[in-house]
Amino acid sequence: MKPFDTCDSDAKTFVYFPSQRTEDNQNSQQHIYDLPRDILDNLLNVIGREVLREKTPTMEELEQTLQDVLQTNGVEQNYEKQEHGNKQSTNNNTSGLHVAGKPTIRYLIQKGYLKDSTKWLSSKGFLEVGGRILGDVMMALKKGDFGLHSTTDLGSGSIIMDTTKKYEPGNDIRLINVPASLLNAVQRAAKNKDQIKIPLAINIEDFEEYETMQDVRVAVVYCIDLSSTMRYSSMFGDMSRIEAAKRALWSIFLLNRKYFPSDSIYIVGFGALASKVAAQDIPYLKTFEPGSDFLHYTNYQSAFRLARKILQKDGALNRRIVLITDGHPSACFIDDNNEHDKILSQRPYAHFYTADDETLKAVREDQDMTLDTNSGEVVYLCYRYRQVDQYIGEKTIQEARKCHRMGFEIDTIMISEEDSLLEYVNEMEKHVRGRSYYINPNVIDKVLLTDYLNNRKQTIRAHS
């Protein structure tokens, strides 16, 4: 239907008449059928696996992978050439997959899960696919440990607890514990030896309501290492370190969105320079290529400086930085010429790097990342096998201590099979009274979610 525009400017009503184009669209939509839920779930799970890869597949490559899934599930794809184009017919309710060339992709676009773009996951797809990943991680955690409730802001506090209390007239009725209230009515009737019958007679004193606790805002910046070694595969699983880290960050962002919407979760990707990352770009993060430039080095300082800028603008009571890395720092900023000359006098063959405009533009176009050059432009590079250059080590700890003095907690998660890399991180954390974790990359999602939930419980207790 479409509105008929009358000439009377004072008219307060609209007259509608059928639109042939709209009817045609509706008729065409009638031929689009839903896939069986189990098959759709399989497709979305595969999409989640594919989008996390270091090299995101093209839509053509994704189409072939999804076709393989359909064939594995016994969904036959038959095409009959017709006079006005290609039309698909099947023996089940998947006959809506009828667009020649990209039948499965087109179906998922029509359903809103994908979009025709190099970053082909739509907003709906980001939430749906990520939600499945989060669900898998949460199922792996021990049930009942955290008492999570998906909520919006209710009552006097925004965290709904498992405990209840007697309802007080005037309180938000959405907090009423219905099963407990009904049980109270039955018990009261039994105690008074009244006849229990349906419908139940419920008095105001039967009502119980969930207790709430005032929410305490938390802001966390997760700094993910994008140095070249993060692309290495874990010996404990089929995902690379970067893929495992992206899966974890995707999960924690959706956990925050669902259960703690008042909190702020920020993502920073860093190599020699750092960049703020939009949440929906988490699946597409990739490591910096070695060889073409020197962005693939590891500069903790760049991550700390950008994270500090972000947290300074956030009004949360509790602010925290979590560094996710697989190696020790191999780069730091040079803030003045005296530092530059000092290093050269001690290390005549020292290497310095400044990203040129062409490199910055390429990263912006290829990875959709705007590298932060305001925090520092000249970078001193020095990689030493299983060691940290003394100058880089000292400058990094100084930066961490600046964050700590401003009230920002710093914790580090090491995802590597080499425990020797943890020595420097432990030393850095001593200066900021933080914590360091050495973990198998295969369990980083469980560790990050548990860490976030535990820290949040401690924060709430401290302010309740």
Q: Nearest CA to 345 among 300, 400, 391, 302?
A: 391
Beta bridge partners of 384: 387
* pLDDT band, residue 15 (cuts 50/70/90): very low
Mapping DSSP to helix (H, G, I), strand (E, B) and coil, where does residue 170 land? coil
Q: Which residue(s) pair with 125 in the sheet?
A: none
pTM assigned to the model: 0.74
Local confidence band at 352 (pLDDT 50, 70, 90 cut-offs): very high
User: Measured between alpha carbons, how far is 245 from 278 in angstroms, rounded to an integer?
Assistant: 15
Domain-by-domain residue ranges, the chain?
Answer: 17-121, 159-213, 218-463
Mean pLDDT for 371-390 is 92
pLDDT-based confidence at 460, cuts 50/70/90?
low
The pLDDT value recorded for residue 16 is 35
Q: Is the pLDDT of residue 381 over 80?
A: yes
pLDDT at 417 over 90: no
Q: Can you name the residues that pair with 92 across neighbouring β-strands?
A: none
Give the helix/strand (H/E) hosting 213.
strand 208-213
pLDDT band for position 17 (cuts 50, 70, 90): very low
Could you report the per-residue pLDDT of 173-193, keeping only the tens digit for each? 777 888 888 888 888 888 887
Least confident of 99-113, 311-325, 406-420: 99-113
Helix (H) or strand (E) holding 270: strand 264-270
Report DSSP state, residue 121: B
Predicted local distance difference test score (pLDDT) of residue 212:
61
Is a pLDDT exceeding 60 seen at residue 229? yes
Distance CA 66, CA 125 (A): 15
Whole-angstrom Cα distance, residue 287 to residue 27?
Answer: 46
Give the pLDDT confidence score for residue 306 in this predicted structure.
Answer: 98
Residue 456 has pLDDT above 50, yes or no: yes
Taking only the tens place, the pLDDT of each residue in 313-348 is 998 889 999 999 998 999 999 998 899 999 999 888
CA dist 344 and 416 (Å) reads 32
Two structure tokens written together for 393? 């080590």
* Answer CATH for 218-463 from 3.90.1710.10, 3.40.50.410, 3.90.1580.10, 3.40.50.720: 3.40.50.410
Q: Which residue has the higher pLDDT, 304 or 26?
A: 304
Peptide bond before residue 199 is cis, with ω within 30 degrees of 0: yes
Mean pLDDT of 277-297: 90
Average pLDDT of span 76-86 = 38
- Residue 393 above 90 pLDDT? yes
Token pair belonging to 55: 């090299």
DSSP summary character for residue 241? H
Work out the pLDDT band at 83, boundaries 50, 70, 90: very low
- Mean pLDDT value across residues 30-53: 82
Q: What is the pLDDT of residues 119-173, one digit of tens each?
A: 999 999 999 999 999 988 888 775 444 444 333 333 334 455 667 788 877 677 7
Q: What is the pLDDT of residue 23?
A: 42
**Helix, strand, coil tally for the chain in percent (to 5):** 45, 20, 40
